[in-house]
Amino acid sequence: MNTLVEFYVDRPVVFIQTEQFSDISSLPEYQFRNLVVIGKNSRGREAYFDFGALCYKKKKDSTAKTHSCKVVYSSFVEFLEPVLNAYTKNKLSKVAATSTHSYFSKLTRILFKPMTP
């Protein structure tokens, strides 16, 4: 019997502050699949949002140590990357750091909402 084993692995990530999105031309080069945005939670504390992990069907929760999710590389959904990148750049270029959580939550709900027949 052949069994496929899928490994969850750490991927290289790029950390970018929400405030850096206000000037798109000054953003460092990154692939969206590796993007972790540093924003603020509702209490004003620093928080990490692994936007890049949204491109993967299979991922674990992010950890306090790495601030990113482990993913299964083969579960990458290529067509999502440019769409999510454009949406994220557009939204984060106009908001305060505390709004990052709101946009991340909305994307998560939209992408992973169970489909109803």
pLDDT digits (tens, 9 = 90+) for 56-110: 999 999 888 899 999 999 999 999 999 999 999 998 998 887 888 888 888 888 8
% of the chain residues with pLDDT over 70: 91
pTM comes to 0.86
Token pair recorded at residue 49: 């949002």
60-70: pLDDT as tens digits: 998 888 999 99
pLDDT at position 1: 55
Return the closest-CA partner of residue 21 out of 113, 74, 102, 99: 99
**How many residues in the chain?**
117
User: What whole-number distance in Å separates Cα of residue 54 and Cα of residue 1?
Assistant: 32
CB burial of 29-38 (b: ≥16 within 10 Å; e: otherwise) equals ebebbbbbbb
pLDDT at position 107: 87
